[in-house]
């Protein structure tokens, strides 16, 4: 009943919000991204400073205050700001009754092994657009992203002569360990949309990542490895004999890609695809198409 009443209220407000500036508090970064892409500046954002450091795109205006942390939002500040809608992740369901004393609350799913993370973010974006009366703009944004992905696909096909390399995206966590982005991760969804296969097979996980020892990367004897920059101990690792012996390092099938948020909303696909494609276009076209390697 509560969800039905909220839906009815949002539908009633949608025509009004389409022509005004909705007062929406975003307590997740995915919701923040989606609001900004709908040309709605959030009233407040949880961990706003960290959003500007880690997510970066789309840009959060400097004047938007932090609503506390994503784990412990500042209820007093929220009450003072008087939002018309509060968007939360499932993680905050426990305090939903407290938030509902301030304003109507809408929850959207986060990352999970139980659903397709890309589809969940796309559905959340469109649902939020309907609630705010901005469906036409949402569809325009999605079409523009799809056109941009198509342009990057064409450039990669031309560069590699139709023989695209298999690609695996990693984030180095220490000189001895790395996180590999696998099935259902946003980087892997971006690779799929670029027409690229993974260079290493991984088992599914809730966030789409698996931590492995650096030595496990040596199993990628064919295919390209991209690492998400920055990595503070890069010089130490890259100069080591172990790293220099990696097949993808010896054969120049390794490149860095600009820091890009890997747990974002639907439009993080565009930013990830752009960063990946730019890195791949700098590599020799002889990288070729590679078979996928199982990870035991």
Assigned domain for 141 exists: no
Alpha helix (H) ranges present in the chain? 2-19, 29-37, 48-50, 75-81, 96-100, 117-131, 135-159, 186-193, 234-238, 241-244, 247-250, 268-281
In angstroms, how far is CA 85 from the centroid of its own chain?
Answer: 23
| Domain enclosing residue 270, as ranges | 161-294
pLDDT tens digit string along 152-187?
999 999 999 999 999 999 999 999 999 999 999 999
The single-letter DSSP state of residue 61 is P
Same domain? 196 vs 124 = no
Assigned domain for 254 exists: yes
Assigned domain for 61 exists: yes
Same domain? 14 vs 126 = yes
Contact 169, 191 (CB under 8 A): yes
Instruction: Give the residue-averaged pLDDT of 241-270.
Output: 96
Query: Tokens representing 250?
Result: 């010896």
Given this model, what pLDDT does residue 19 score? Answer: 63
Same domain? 241 vs 288 = yes
| Phi, psi (deg, nearest 5) at residue 285 | -70, -15
Query: Tokens representing 176?
Result: 């001895």
Q: Among residues 115, 133, 151, which one ends one of the domains?
A: 133
Burial-class residue 275 by CB neighbours within 10 Å (0-12, 13-18, 19+).
buried
Assigned domain for 143 exists: no
| Beta-carbon contacts of residue 290 (< 8 Å; ≥ 6 apart) | 165, 166, 197, 199, 222, 223, 224
Number of C-beta neighbours around residue 166 at 10 A: 23
Report the CATH number at residue 222.
3.40.50.1980
Same domain? 240 vs 119 = no
Query: Tokens representing 212?
Result: 């492995």
Given this model, what pLDDT does residue 293 score? Answer: 52
Given this model, what pLDDT does residue 222 score? Answer: 87
| pTM, rounded to two decimals | 0.88
- Of 113 and 46, the structure prediction assigns the larger pLDDT to 46
Burial-class residue 136 by CB neighbours within 10 Å (0-12, 13-18, 19+).
exposed
* Residue 106 to residue 265: CA distance in whole angstroms: 16
């Amino acid at each position: 009943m509560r969800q039905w009443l909220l839906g009815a209220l949002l539908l009633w407000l949608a025509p009004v919000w389409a022509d005004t500036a909705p007062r929406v508090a975003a307590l997740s970064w995915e919701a923040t991204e989606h609001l900004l892409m709908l040309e709605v500046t959030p009233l407040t954002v949880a961990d706003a400073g960290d959003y500007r450091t880690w997510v970066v795109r789309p840009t959060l205006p400097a004047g938007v205050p932090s609503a506390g942390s994503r784990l412990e939002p500042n209820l007093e500040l929220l009450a003072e700001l008087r939002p018309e809608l509060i968007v939360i992740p499932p993680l905050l369901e426990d305090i939903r009754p407290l938030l509902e004393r301030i304003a109507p609350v809408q929850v959207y799913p986060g990352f999970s092994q139980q659903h397709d993370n890309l589809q969940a973010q796309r559905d959340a974006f469109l649902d939020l657009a309907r609630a705010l009366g901005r469906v036409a703009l949402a569809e325009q944004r999605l079409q523009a992203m799809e056109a941009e992905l198509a342009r990057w696909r064409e450039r990669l096909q031309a560069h590699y002569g139709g023989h695209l390399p298999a690609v695996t995206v990693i984030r180095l966590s220490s000189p001895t360990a790395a996180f590999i982005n696998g099935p259902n991760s946003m980087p892997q969804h971006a690779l799929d949309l670029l027409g690229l296969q993974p260079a290493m097979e991984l088992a599914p996980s809730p966030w789409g990542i698996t931590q492995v020892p650096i030595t496990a990367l040596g199993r990628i004897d064919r295919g390209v490895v991209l690492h998400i920059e920055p990595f503070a101990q890069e010089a130490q690792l890259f100069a080591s004999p172990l790293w220099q012996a990696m097949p993808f390092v010896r054969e120049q099938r390794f490149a860095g890609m600009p820091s890009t948020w890997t747990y974002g909303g639907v439009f993080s696909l565009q930013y990830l695809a752009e960063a990946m494609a730019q890195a791949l276009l700098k590599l020799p076209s002889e990288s070729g198409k590679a078979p996928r390697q199982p990870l035991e």
